[in-house]
Each structure stands twice: as structure tokens, then as C-alpha cells.
Amino acid sequence: MLHWRCMESRTDGEVRDDTRFFGHPRGLATLFFTEMWERFSYYGMRAILILYMVAPVSTGGLGFSVAKGGAVYGFYTAMVYLLGLPGGWVADRITGQQKAVLYGGVLISAGEFCLAAPGMAMFYLGLVFLMMGTGLLKPNVSTIVGQLYPANDVRRDSGFSIFYMGINVGALISPLICGYIGERVNWRMGFGVAGIGMLAGLIQYMLSGKYLGKAGLHPTSTGDPAEDRRQKRHGLLAGLGALAALATVVTLSQAGIVAITAETISDALGWFLLVISAAVFAWLILGRGWSPVERKRAVATLVIFMASAIFWGAYEQAGSSLNLFAERNTNRMLLGWEFPASWFQFVQPVFVIALAPVFAWLWIALRRKEPSIPTKFSFGLLLGGLAFVILIPAAGGKLVSPWWLTGTYFLQTLGELCLSPVGLSAMTKLAPARVGGFMMGVWFLSVSIGDWAAGKAASFYESMPLTQLFGTVAGLSLAAVVLLALMIRPTVRWMAGVK
Ligand code: GLN
């Protein structure tokens, strides 16, 4: 762990003048490859997770019903993003971002290797490690990207674009490798390869961590040591409380006092997400200490938050119901060979990589006519809804052409590019400066709700006709578009000058 000490000797100035990675600080390369491997691991695992859970035991799967598989998938993916909130807090107050990323990477590799090991206990333990590890790594690696640049460095936005490419390069390669190995060789070996990917990222991170300089090296202080101690105490109590609640639930269920199934736990998480979102916005809108402008902006943030949750609810079905659709209802013959269903997971990131520069150009080209944030969100939701509309006729068929899903993913990606980067930057602009990091967690809370809903949708895969399932998703998304379109004007007003 030598470099964690060496790094401190690098001055901020040295990092600022550094243009070794495509004109960006060398530290960006460290983070690019760390996140690339982390996403390799995440999306490789996600590409086969639901397929593995519902595959019959005779084929090496877990033999879950789709209802249970969807519930576990929704719970797990929702928790991955939800734990970004405490993950960000731990880095801010206790470890600093650099160490949080390191510990997160270790937990993720351990989690994937647990999934690769036999036995149900190892499966669930693996998922818990993965949730905690991703919660520590994902938000904090992005925070360090921001910290690589001095306050007014014009390279920051393009740095984030390069970083987003890293995400998608990882997401693009891994379904091909882990998906093929998982589906065609051995499910658990697929998770093992995902773990090796994270390990590669971790080794790379440790070897090149010195290039990060002081970015994310230390936890931040509130400026008052007594307040710092108080916050740490509260954090520790909250952590212990969560562990105690978990232990109680496990004990009650083991003792047969309460019947706990994957479905009930997942449903409970749905309610929890609702309560926590209501509490967050009640605080942001009605709490003490906000200025009138901050309150108004919080209302605008709530509109964006709801649209985002609905969008991700449809989009994240790529790993759940649409993955099942690829496996069960799509013709995957290519030159006489049937390619694995998980290979479809390759399509979204390819479109992101191809289209991200087009969108970057588009917004610049439109200049003064550039649509407002809620207008872009309406387009995002509309495209996300249309992506499911085109699946309705396809859902009636037995084994449909792969172009249907490809078309769906194309429209979804167009929607993503209208909404995702816009949303991330909107959160930073609408947030009161003193809760900037927290507001990033609020964005991931909306992603978490979306992932939970995407799992829920998959659990209806067998109990509901597909035309009805996809029609409902399309209908909800399009209804949300109408509501959002009506809200554009007031939302722009509530944004109080934020463009
Ligand atoms: N594909 C992006 C990532 O993995 C965005 C995912 C999301 O925010 N739902 O980071």
C-alpha cells in the first residue's frame, strides 16, 4: 500500500498541469480503467443474473420461479444504487473517496467469487458483498473525477464524457465474455470471470493510484471537529441499527416466526424507497434553513426525480424482462449459430458510444434553441415509452426477429442521452451547494426506484400476457410524458434561472 503515502507528495499544481491522458490529467486514466473494469464486472454479472436464477437446477441454474427471480433482481439492483447514499457518506466523513473505491473493489471481487462458488448461502452472501462494494465504489469514483480538476477547469465536462465512455466500454465487452461463458459453459464461471475483471481493475487502481494526487484522498471536514465527531457517531449508530434490523429479520425468519420470502423483502424495499423519497423531498422543500429559491428548485428537482424513476423503470428492464424476452421469445440465429441471449446487453452501450458525440454536438448546435431540462426529460421519457410501444406487436409472436429488441434498445439509448447526462448535471446545478454530494445520491435514489420497478416488471413475465406487460410499461411511460409536458413551464419557473 506504498502509493497511498507517496500520493501525498504530489502537489495540486502538478496534477493541474498534467495533460497526459488525451489532454486530461493522468489520474483520469486510472479512474477510466477502474470504472471500466467495475462496469465490466457489474454488467457481465447482470447479463446472466436473472437467466441463472430462473434456469432449471438440471442446467446448473438456481431453479427460481420468475416471480422470485424478478424480486431478487429488483431488490439487488435497487440496493446497489441505494447504497450509493451511505457509500458517499462513508467516503466524505470517514475514509476519503480513494480508499472507499479500493474497499469497494475488494468487496465486489469477493462478491463475484462468492457467486462463482456453489451453494445458496454463497449466492446471497455474494449479492450482499456486491451491493456494499458497488455502493462504495460507484458514486465515489465519479466524485474523484470531479476533484481531478481545479474549480474553473474547462476540461471537466469533457473529462466526464471520457469517463462515461469507460463505463460503456466495460458494459459492452463483458456481456459478450461473461454472457457466453455463463450461458454456454457454466453459469458460475461467468460470475468468476466478472470477478477477475474487477480484480484486474483493482490491480490497475493500486498501481496507478499515485496519479490521483490529493483528489479524494482525505475525508472532508465540516470545519468543526465536534460536529465531525457527532456525524460519525450518528453514522455508526445508523449502520449498527441497520445491522441489528437485518439480524432480527434473519432470526425471526430462521425461527419460523415470520414467513419471509424474496418477494416480501422486495415489496418491503419498494415501500422503503417510497418513504425515504418522501422524507428526502419533505426535508428539501419544507425543512428549515433553505432559502425560497432553494425550496423552489427542490420542487423542480422532485419533478425531474419522478420522471427519472419512471424512465429507469423501463430502461433497466434490459437486464430483467427484456433479457428473458431475448432468451425465450427472440430468434437469435446468426449464420446458423444461436448466439447467447445475454449478448443483447451489448447493444445499449454500443449505441451510447456511437451516439453520445452526436448528442454533445446537437446541444451545442442548437445553442439558444437548446431545449430546457424538463423538455429534454420529456423527450427521454417519450423515447423510453416508444421503445416499449414497438415491442407490443412483437410480444404477440413466438420467436421474433432480433431487430425488434435492437430497435427497442436504440430508442431507449436515444432517451438515455436526452435524460441521463442532463439529469446528472441538473442535479449539480439545482442542488444547494452545501448538500451537493447528497443530491447526487438523490439522483441514484431515482435510479434505485427504477431498478426495483424493472425487477417487479420481470416478476410478471409468466403471469401476464407479454402484450399486456409491455403495453403497461409503454402506457405508464407515455402517461408520464403527458403529465411532464404539462409541467414543463412551471418546472422551468421553479428552476429559478438554472439552465
Ligand atoms: N449505464 C450507466 C452506468 O452504468 C447509467 C446507469 C444508470 O444510471 N441507470 O453508470
Distance CA 311, CA 332 (A): 27
CB 312 within 8 A of CB 476: no
Domain locations in the chain as residue ranges = 14-205+261-494
Of 207-221, 299-313, 352-366, 436-450, highest mean pLDDT? 299-313
Partners of 337 in the beta sheet? 334
Cα–Cα nearest to 137, from 180, 89, 78, 97: 97
Mean pLDDT, to the nearest integer, of 154-180?
91
**Grid-cell match 431475448, residue found:** 326
Q: Is domain 14-205+261-494 classified as CATH 1.20.1250.20?
A: yes
- Tell how far the Cα of 164 is from the centroid of ligand 1, in angstroms: 9
Partners of 330 in the beta sheet? 400
The finding on whether 447 has its CB within 6 A of some atom of ligand 1 is yes
C-alpha cell at 33: 480503467
Look at residue 223 in the predicted model and tell me its pLDDT: 78
- Distance set, CA 65 to CA 42, 453, 488, 494 (Å): 23, 18, 42, 46
Cα–Cα nearest to 114, from 192, 8, 200, 9: 192
Does residue 247 register a pLDDT over 80? yes
Please, what is the average pLDDT of the chain? 91
Look at residue 191 in the predicted model and tell me its pLDDT: 98
Distance CA 488, CA 494 (A): 10
pTM for this prediction: 0.91
C-alpha cell at 87: 457509500
Look at residue 10 in the predicted model and tell me its pLDDT: 56
Does residue 11 register a pLDDT over 80? no
- Tell how far the Cα of 171 is from the centroid of ligand 1, in angstroms: 10
- Tell how far the Cα of 202 is from the centroid of ligand 1, in angstroms: 20
- Tell how far the Cα of 409 is from the centroid of ligand 1, in angstroms: 14
Which tens digit of pLDDT belongs to each residue from 106-150? 999 999 999 999 999 999 999 999 999 999 999 899 889 888 888
CB 345 within 8 A of CB 179: yes
What residue owns the CA closest to ligand 1's atom 5? 420
Q: Is residue 159 very low, low, confident or very high in pLDDT (cuts 50, 70, 90)?
A: confident
Tell me which of 137, 447, 448, 451 to substitute to probe ligand 1's pocket, judged by most ligand atoms within 8 Å of the beta carbon: 447
Q: Is residue 407 very low, low, confident or very high in pLDDT (cuts 50, 70, 90)?
A: very high
Mean pLDDT, to the nearest integer, of 149-176?
88
Write the CB contacts of 316 (distance below 8 Å, at least 6 apart in sequence): 77, 447, 450, 451, 453, 454
The finding on whether 39 has its CB within 6 A of some atom of ligand 1 is yes
- Tell how far the Cα of 447 is from the centroid of ligand 1, in angstroms: 8
When computed from its CA atoms, the radius of gyration of the chain, rounded to whole angstroms, is 22
Which tens digit of pLDDT belongs to each residue from 254-291? 888 888 888 999 999 999 999 999 999 999 999 988 99
